Each structure stands twice: as structure tokens, then as C-alpha cells.
Amino acid sequence: MPPFSANLDSNAAAKPALHNHDEDPDNGMEMKSADRLRFTNEEDQPLSFASHMVSDVTKKVSSLLSTLKYAALRLYIVFWHELSMDPQVRHSPWSPPPQDEVKMSKNQISIVRQRRIYALIVHVAALVGLYHCLVGNVRLFTVLWALGLGVASSTAVTAGAHRLWSHHSFKATWQLRVILMLFQTMALEFSILNWVTNHRVHHKFVDTDGDPHNSRRGFFFSHIGWLLIAPHPDVLRNRKLVHTADVRSDWVVHFQTRYYVYLNLILCYLIPTVIPWYFWAEDFWVAHFVAGHLRQVLFLHGTFTINSLAHLWGSKPYDKNICPTENMLVSVASMGDGWHNYHHVFPWDYKNAEKWDYRLNFSAALVDAFAKLGWAYDLKTVPERMVAERVLKTGDGSHPLSQAAHSHPTGEDAVYGWNDLDMPQEHRDIALITHKKQR
């Protein structure tokens, strides 16, 4: 056989060996592809995990930014832009404007914007004061001073602007009226005249569109939102209808109304700040933020709970057909005005409650103390028989005597206090008046 042929045969004989060493093109490509895929997966596994982490973080950041953007937009709408949409008859600050939207004047828009800006400033300042308290930058005397002023000013609101001037549930000498006026001014809850007007409208038209802080419009509105938007047109009409001549004729109220801005600056901010700074060397700005703003905001919200919490949660032992409730926590926060169901049924009782419980009714304790001094007199309260009759008629069952139900009068049939002309004469005749002034 020619040598060439021998070479061919030897190559042919060697071919299987070459085939075993992956010389086959097709099989070689499959194995190399598998090796390449295995190599790629091993190398890219940490990269894939990192990319997933980056993707998850990106999604979370995007979601957070969207939430913050939405919250910022809502805050903008509530605190600023809504004013240009005239939110007078809106059910809540979040709802769209209704078809019968009432247009606001430029002056109304300016006033409400000023209120919103002021509310934002004082709450931020209160947070600064809270920060100083939490980190221990404030002296103990300053904290006690702030708490003392807060209790005094809040009590002056409930005992003075509320029980004395709004409801005439007792009478006071000029000395006591001056004291109550000064501390009520320190609370910065509007002038006595403004406070009384709003509160009498509230009682006459409770939880209707004519109520300044109608609780049916939601917790936020009844708590503080009513101060941040223009009043409902019915409220404006009712303010003109309610009787306030008795308050206007009081020279103490007239003095406060005339100099209210100056009295506010002195009593609410200057004195609470200067006293700690001068007498026990407190830092001026720490005293200002703690005894001024933090004290004001904390006790302001204590009063606000009467309009919100005490109209939403609690029992109704005296009238189950109205929103006001009996709420012990509100009574603690407001110096005794949490027994709100009783109060709306008997608004001319100086105790604002059925029972004498000074632990939860500091304002009643104050009035009784001044009655012993002769500065408070003609204290009006409701006899037990009258309370029992009402409980049996309209109670919700939470009172031991409550059994049935009855509607609560509103509008012309409701009364706001002792001097209301709509108050039945039989109620005046059977009311108990203690500590009567000697003629």
C-alpha cells in the first residue's frame, strides 16, 4: 500500500481518539456554551444581587419621595392654596369645593392666611420649646412657671370667658373679673367678646352649619381647622343674631377689646419670658420658647379638645340625641369642661357637671373658693330633681336613672345660658342660687 494510503489509514485510526477529545465541532460548541454559561452565572451572581438591591432601594426612595410630594401638596392645599378656592362651605379641608361655593373677599382671604401663618409659626416655636425640655436645656423653675401660667390661663378661659361671661352661671365682682380677664388674655384664645359670641352661637346651633366648630365636619375641623378656613355663611349670620349686649356693657370686657393686641404681647409672651430670665437667670430664648410658645400651644389644644374629643367620644347620660359627650380626659385637659353632655343640657350650671369633683373640675373649685371670699356670688346650679327628670327622658342608659330618649332643642328652643330670653321661666324658678350677694 502506498505510503500515502498508510498515512490516511493511520489518521483514520486516530480519529476516534480525537473525537474523544472533543474534536467534534457540534458537541464542542455545546460543552463550551455550558461552561461559558456556568462561568457567567458564577461571576454575575453578586452583580445580580447588587442590582436587585439597588432596584429595591430605588423603588423605596421613589415611593418615599412620592409620599412626601403628596403630603407637601396636601399641606400646601390645606394651609395656603385652598384659600383662593374659598373653602367656606366645605365638609372638610380635603374635599373638593361644592357647586354653591361662596366667594371670599380679599380681606377675608388675608385674615385666614394670617391665621394659618401664625398657627404654623407658634407650633414650630412650641416644638423648639419641647426640644429644650427634652434635652434638658431648661431650668426646673421655668418648667414649673410655664405649667403654672398654663393652668391659670386655661382656668380663666373655662371659669371666666365660658362660665361667667358666656353663660352667666355666676356673678363676679370687678376684682375677680379683672383677674379672669388678664389670665384669659394670656391664653390667647381671642378676646372675651369674640369668645362669648362664638360660644353662644355654638350652643344655639350646635353641630349644624351654623356652629363655628361643627363636629359633624370631622375631628380636624372641630379641633383647629375651623380657625384655619373662613366661617360658614350660616355662622356669619348667626353671629349677628346672638345676644351680646350684656358682655359689651361690661367695662372690663370693653377695656380688653380695646387694648387686646398690646395686652397679648405683654401677658402671653413678654411676662412669661422676662420673669425666668430676670429672677433665676434662665436663657432668654429658652424661656421664650418654653414659657411662651410651648405653654400656650399645649393648653390651647387642651381647650380645643372640648370642641373635638368631647363631641365625638364619650357617654351621653343626659341627652343621647346630641353630639356632646361626657369625657374625663377632656375634663382634665380643660380644667373641668369635659362633662359636655351635661353642659349642653344645663349650660347655666356653674359647675358644668352634675357632681362636685374638684379633682376633675378645677374651675368649679376656683369659683367656690372665690365665693367664700365674696368675689363670686349668685352661683347657679341644677337641682337633683330636674337632673333626674332629664336623665329619664333623654339619657343613653349610662346614667343609673336613664331609661328613655327625647330630642334636644336647637335653634330658637335652645338656650345658651342664664340670661337667654328663650330660657323657660320654670327653670329659673327652681334653679338653686347659692352665695347670694347681700343687698
**Sequence-ordered alpha helix ranges (H) in 21-105:** 25-76, 82-84
E strands, 151-224, in order: 171-172
pLDDT, the chain, mean: 82
pLDDT in tens, 148-191: 999 999 999 999 999 999 999 999 999 999 999 999 999 999 99
The answer to whether residue 250 scores a pLDDT higher than 90 is yes
| For the chain, counts of helices (H) and of strands (E) | 20, 4
* The one-letter amino acid at 404: A
The residue assigned the cell 359647675 is 351
- The predicted-structure confidence for 275-333, as pLDDT tens digits, reads as follows 999 999 999 999 999 999 999 999 999 999 999 999 989 999 999 889 999 999 999 99
- The 8-class DSSP code of residue 227 comes to G
- Half-sphere CA count of 385, side-chain side, radius 13 A: 4
CA-atom Rg of the chain in angstroms: 36
The residue with greater pLDDT, 412 or 149, is 149
**Sign of the alpha-carbon torsion through 299, 71, 117, 93:** negative
Residue 73, all three cell numbers = 401638596
DSSP 3-state assignment of 181?
helix
State the distance between the two ends of the chain, measured CA to CA, in whole angstroms: 157
How many C-beta atoms lie closer than 10 Å to residue 133's C-beta?
16
User: How confident is residue 254, by pLDDT bands cut at 50, 70 and 90?
Assistant: very high
pLDDT at 257 over 90: yes
Cell of 370: 372665690
Task: State mean pLDDT over 400-423.
Answer: 68
pLDDT band at 85 (very low <50, low <70, confident <90, very high): very low
Tens of pLDDT, residues 346-383: 999 999 998 777 678 999 999 999 999 999 999 999 99
- Rounded CA-CA distance 380/219 in Å is 32
